[in-house]
Homo-oligomer: A and B are copies of this chain.
Amino acid sequence: MDFFSSDFKLGILGGGQLGKMMLYETRKFDIHTKVMDASKDAPSKIGCDEFFIGDLLDFDAVYNFGKKVDVLTIEIENVNTEALEKLEHEGVKVYPPTSALRIIQNKAKQKLFYIDNDIPTAPFSRFAYASEMKDSVEHESLSFPFVWKSAQFGYDGQGVKIIRNIGDLEGLPPGECITEDMIPFKNELAVIVARNVKGDVTTYPVVEMEFHPEANQVEYVICPARIDDKVAQKAKEIALKVSNSIQHVGLLAVEMFQTAEDEILVNEVAPRPHNSGHYSIEASYTNQFEQHIRAILDLPLGSTESKVAGIMVNLVGAEGYTGDVVYQNIEEILKLDGVTPHIYGKRQTRPFRKMGHVTIVNEDLLEARKIAQQVKETIKVIAR
């Protein structure tokens, strides 16, 4: 099929910031795109050829949208998989495939999948209802502290909570969940694997993630990770094992813990461009969004090497501010070398909401890290 002709149509489910960045690449390649999102003000409304409003969890909306395109991809996992399955049966190319998406959508399934495929992961328990956790605590089969994760629909650190005492269980959503042992880890790492339709596979360098202690959101993503080569090699091998087991098409972002004993445990995966790969727009020979497009169109995969070191700072809404967003001191950070802000285009800020990111690139990683800190201390996402 000639992807570069106007006969070809690519569909993207979800019109958020990831979709928006994907659209820079489809514009570059002049690929005809249709986007569906529930919000009429979605960031990807601009930049696609056609924009549709529809609920991503609604069978009819997803099915009818999918019938209009040749290849269908996602920028968010929470989509109606029954519709995707039917579309697949009817010849629409759905990437990632429904089978991969189903494993990933539900965190309990995802954990069981790791066990079945001999992929190292933190010990866990599965609960059909949140209330069952309390019983387990009372029967001493579950002890504090532990990590609670909603089985469905986690995003931006929502759906994850550290439970230190019985009080922390109050107010959790009632549905299916898992609990995980708290892993004393040295580092959180991530590897993005790209896999095209014919099965060619390539991995990006291992990146290191620093989390905001309260918001449970990534603060810095550092590429390459400052870890030794053996650990990096192990992380890549495990990411490839997950990729090979799950048989995705497109990107797979594999988040991992490096334990005190240099064990690697898989935390979770996402079958799409990922926050941990945003640095690649400025730092890599082939950025993650272009790579995802290459993979799902079964084009040759591009080089995943870096031109320079890259660090990403998430721009999240400052605490205490809700309303029309203002990017305070953005002009100040533009004075710094190798600094590129990406503003997602959400009109309203609220505490910890992801409003954008800033990439810092430099030949020298330590210099980049210094500038990243300066960026973090200078720019503030507030309300008018």
Taking beta carbons and an 8 Å cutoff, which residues of A are in contact with B? 2, 4-6, 20, 23-24, 27-30, 46-49, 285-286, 290, 294, 299-300, 302-303, 307-308, 324, 326-327, 330-331, 334-335, 337-345, 347, 356, 361, 363
Contacts and interface: CB of A to CB of B under 8 A. Distances in A.
20 contacts: A4-B326, A4-B327, A5-B326, A6-B347, A20-B27, A23-B27, A23-B47, A24-B28, A27-B46, A27-B47, A27-B345, A29-B341, A30-B344, A30-B356, A46-B47, A46-B48, A46-B49, A286-B340, A299-B334, A302-B334
Nearest to A290: B340
A142 to B, nearest CB: 45
Nearest to A332: B300
Given A48-B46, A326-B5, A335-B300, A343 B28 contact: yes
Given A30-B343, A294-B334, 7 more contacts: A5-B324, A28-B340, A29-B341, A30-B356, A285-B361, A286-B340, A303-B337
Contacts of A29: 341, 343
A344 B31 CA distance: 10
A83 to B, nearest CB: 26
Which residue, of A6, A285, A324, has the highest number of chain B Cβ atoms within 10 A? A285
Contacts of A294: 334
A299 B49 contact: no
Nearest to A308: B307
In the A-B complex, the 4 residue pairs with the closest CB atoms: A30-B343, A30-B345, A300-B335, A307-B307
Given A27-B47, A334-B299, A4 B343 contact: yes
Given A5-B326, A307-B308, A331 B300 contact: yes
Given A27-B24, A29-B343, A330-B4, A337 B47 contact: no
A42 to B, nearest CB: 13
Contacts of A299: 331, 334
Nearest to A338: B285
Nearest to A335: B300
A293 to B, nearest CB: 11
Contacts of A335: 300
A378 to B, nearest CB: 13
Contact of A2 (B24, B303, B326, B342): B326
A52 to B, nearest CB: 15
Nearest to A33: B46
Nearest to A336: B300
A338 to B, nearest CB: 5
A299 B332 CA distance: 9
Contacts of A334: 294, 299-300, 302
A126 B50 CA distance: 50
A294 B331 CA distance: 10
Contacts of A356: 30
